[in-house]
Structure 1
Amino acid sequence: MSTPWFGRRNRSPEDLAAAESARDGAVAAFLDLDTRQSYITDALRPLQSSDPMTAASAILAAWKKVEQKCFDANSQYLTISQQYALEDALGQPTAVELPVAAQAFANTHRTLAQAATAINDFYTDNRRALDQARSAASEIPKLAEAGVAQALSIRARLTGVHSDVAGFASVRGAAAELETGVADLDRALVAGSLEGIQAATAAITAAGEQIDAAAAAARTAGDRAATAISSVRTRISAVTTRTERLPGVRSILLREFSAPNSADLAGNVEVAARELAAGEHAWEEASQALRSGDAEKSLSLLADSREHLHAASQACDDVTNRLETLKAVKADPSGPERQTRFRIRDAQRLVVDRGLTSQWGSVLDAQSARVDRALHALTGVHPDYWAYVRELDAVTEFVKGVVERIREQARHS
């Protein structure tokens, strides 16, 4: 007990009053700073998830400096309050030197006041953005409540009016998107992110619309699948006919033109047959799925069947179109040449009109030389007409690019 009584003997009423006044002033400054800091922190919370490249990021960066000053001031207060406590835990006077304690509390008071001034300056500099952010933050509870209510309503539809189709894959997928949106909303609420809440609410709305659309589609899936089964069967018959004729077309191609004219199509007969078989298999599985009552699976398999049939048809088209193209070029080799030279001359006129002969004249002359070489290459008993066509097409595309560049330069000049 000697220490408290020793402390008491050294305490004058004046020193005690001064120390208590300094301490109370520091306490008030500490509480005031906490209030100001909380106000700004609440205002800034909606900005935490903002894009790093926006103005909000600059505000947050500026606040970090002020926040550090507040942290330092608060730390100083807590340290001084413990180091210069005027009473112990039992309410008995301590042995601290009262004048020293008074000075320490006064210094801390000034530090806290300086931090409060920094907050005031920060608020003044960013008042509009902070007030807007606080206003937006006040909308968070209402937005969140609306999002939750919407999610509950959608869930009710799933177990109510949509219960007859809730097992369809498309409906289940949309329902999963709904739950993802709800989880995102929960996280955004915890973070106090207005943008996150808005995004999650929008996702919930979209999921609800997707569920309704999927449910409506599911109810007509059976009829649509039945119609598609018949349609794809007709398509299979047509592609089968073309595929069966393809070897004959390929034989004509090889008989009338040298091998280089169709070397890239050597495997098309096999490709067409393979894709046709895959299309037929998918169609058979789709038919089985429909008979089993899984209309959605049937529609998905029918989509696969159509893709395979399209690939088979494309393989047939490539061979048939190649034969037609080669026959046309063989009958009139100068036809494609005239068209290509016309494009070159048209580009040359544009170059002259724009005064760009020095830049593009020799380039276009070189294209004319390419046409000359391609035409000269059509020699022998079985010329490579396809190489001729590809070379002229390449020249045409090159000239087209030159014209586009000239016009683009004119637009920016």
Structure 2
Amino acid sequence: MTGTHAQQAKVSAVRDVLGLMLLPAPLAAAALSASFAGGGTRRWFGGRGESRRADAQAAKDAAAAAFYELDTAQRELRISIETITAVDDSPAARRTADDFAALGRRIDEVSHRYITAVDTHDLDRDDLEPSAASRARGELNGARDELVRIKGELDRFAQGLGPLLDKAETQLARLAPAVERARAALRSASGALDAVRGSGLRADDLAARLAALAPELTKLNEGAGRHGLTETLHRADRVLRDAEAVRSEAERLPERAAEIDKRLVSLRTRAQALTTRAAGVEPVLSELRRRFSAACWQDLQPVPQQAVTGVRQAEEKLSEAAKARDEQRWPDAAALLGAVRALLNATDEAVSAAGDRLQQLNAVSKDPQQEIERTRFAIRDAQRLAMAGRHTPDPRHARPLDDAVARLDRAVAGLEGRHPDYWHFLQETEAVRGTAGRVVEQIRGERGGGQAR
């Protein structure tokens, strides 16, 4: 209950003696007898006077019982209100808390009148007058009636809390499992980290991430009463997610270390093989220069030096990756190995380009007709599709195909002469086939979408 410190002290004192007052009759009588042991002789009124004293005492006991019931009900209801406000910040919940506070102030007023009536009348006085006993009985009965009335208001207020309290308890039922799952995830992550460290892997980054979750665990332990239900549930989810990530990475760390070791060996072997292959580029270029025009091989001239540079850079990155692995800097090692792979891929493509060029030029110089027929077939196939179901082709399809025919004819004509540019011819036929393929895709797309005319 609220109120001044003095009033609160009086309420507390009343609560302390209520236990004695509400004892069964034999025990109460024994307690009262003990309280008078060793004292003076008490003057008793006989007849009506003593009857009025007894009536006043009965009124006092009834008021004390009503006060005790009200106080107990208010304490129990306060727990329900605290449960609601801890998990629900809706307008309805705030309004309920305000109403309870207002009801509490009225309860304080009624309690004050009851305590004042008790303090005013000493029913144990030897010289208690019958009229004073009558006044005491009237005031105490009035205080009891007010206590009973306000207790009724409190009971009706409690009955109206059902929906809000059910909602709050449902939400709280979610909280405990969520917090326990987060704690279990932290324990699991810690165990996985200890295990991986026991195998000789440091996992410093994982340890730092796990340590960063300690303040979050502290807030979880402080509970929803301090941080609110919604925030506590979100925090539990975050801790669960982050802890499980640490655990998963810790459990996978030995496999990751083995994978990096394997990649180091594989890429080092590949770099050595590329060094050997790169040495064969110069003889290929020599044959290209001897048998074909300059236009067929000039763009390949830098390949030998590119291969040497690429392999050297890859080997330097491999050394850095091996150092990162030894220092257990796993993200750095993985990134460096990715850079090594990219360098070796580029070098491989450059080295392969020279051999592929020689092979293609050999084939077309021996029989260019095969390349010509392959390209004409692609054009004719596109033309047939363009004319399917039509008397005249759509200009959007016919124009690029006509241009492709003309382009092929020019490429074929370019083969005449003493030193034909076979490489240019191959590039042109590839481009013509690409044009035919795009027209086919366009027509199929339009017809598939119901746009054919």
Shared topology, TM-score over 0.5? yes
Q: Which of 185, 209, 226 matches 1:154?
A: 185
Paired letter, 1:210: A
Aligned twin of 2:425: 388
Cα distance change of structure 1 residues 322 and 176 upon mapping to structure 2, 3 Å threshold: farther
> TM-score, length-normalised on structure 2?
0.51
Q: Which of 442, 447, 450 matches 1:410?
A: 447
Paired letter, 1:354: G
Aligned twin of 1:275: 310
Q: Which of 210, 216, 225 matches 2:245?
A: 210
The one-character-per-residue Cα deviations of 1:241-299 (angstroms, maximum 9, x if unpaired) are 01222222223223322232234434322222111011111222333444556566545
1:341 paired to 2:376: yes
The correspondence of residues 5-404 of structure 1 with structure 2, limited to 5 A, is: 42=90, 148-163=179-194, 165=196, 167-168=202-203, 171=206, 206-292=241-327, 297-355=332-390, 357-359=392-394, 360-404=397-441
Cα distance change of structure 1 residues 407 and 238 upon mapping to structure 2, 3 Å threshold: same
Q: Tell me, in whole angstroms, the C-alpha distance in 2 between the residues paired with 1:160 and 1:171.
A: 12
> TM-score, length-normalised on structure 1?
0.55
The one-character-per-residue Cα deviations of 1:176-228 (angstroms, maximum 9, x if unpaired) are 9979999xx99xx989989x977x87765554443233112212344434433
Instruction: Say if 1:169 and 1:296, in contact at 8 Å, map to a contact too.
Output: no
Aligned sequence identity (%):
28
Structure 1 alignment gaps of length 5 or more = 1-40, 45-134
Cα distance change of structure 1 residues 327 and 178 upon mapping to structure 2, 3 Å threshold: farther
Structure 2 alignment gaps of length 5 or more = 1-88, 93-165
Cα distance change of structure 1 residues 297 and 270 upon mapping to structure 2, 3 Å threshold: same
Note the C-alpha offset of 1:146. Answer: 5.2
Cα distance change of structure 1 residues 245 and 373 upon mapping to structure 2, 3 Å threshold: same
Paired letter, 1:335: Q
Instruction: Say if 2:190 and 2:247, in contact at 8 Å, map to a contact too.
Output: no
Cα distance change of structure 1 residues 162 and 370 upon mapping to structure 2, 3 Å threshold: same
Instruction: Say if 2:192 and 2:250, in contact at 8 Å, map to a contact too.
Output: no
Q: Tell me, in whole angstroms, the C-alpha distance in 1 between the residues paired with 2:171 and 2:391.
A: 62
Structure showing greater Rg? 2
Q: Tell me, in whole angstroms, the C-alpha distance in 2 between the residues paired with 1:332 and 1:267.
A: 29
Instruction: Say if 1:225 and 1:298, in contact at 8 Å, map to a contact too.
Output: yes
Cα distance change of structure 1 residues 215 and 317 upon mapping to structure 2, 3 Å threshold: same
The one-character-per-residue Cα deviations of 1:83-142 (angstroms, maximum 9, x if unpaired) are xxxxxxxxxxxxxxxxxxxxxxxxxxxxxxxxxxxxxxxxxxxxxxxxxxxx99997666
Q: Tell me, in whole angstroms, the C-alpha distance in 1 between the residues paired with 2:414 and 2:210.
A: 64
Instruction: Say if 2:192 and 2:251, in contact at 8 Å, map to a contact too.
Output: no
Note the C-alpha offset of 1:403. Answer: 1.1
Paired letter, 1:405: Q
Cα distance change of structure 1 residues 376 and 140 upon mapping to structure 2, 3 Å threshold: farther
Cα distance change of structure 1 residues 376 and 137 upon mapping to structure 2, 3 Å threshold: farther
Instruction: Say if 1:177 and 1:207, in contact at 8 Å, map to a contact too.
Output: no
Q: Tell me, in whole angstroms, the C-alpha distance in 2 between the residues paired with 1:294 and 1:227.
A: 16
Note the C-alpha offset of 1:239. Answer: 0.9
CA RMSD, 1 decimal: 4.3
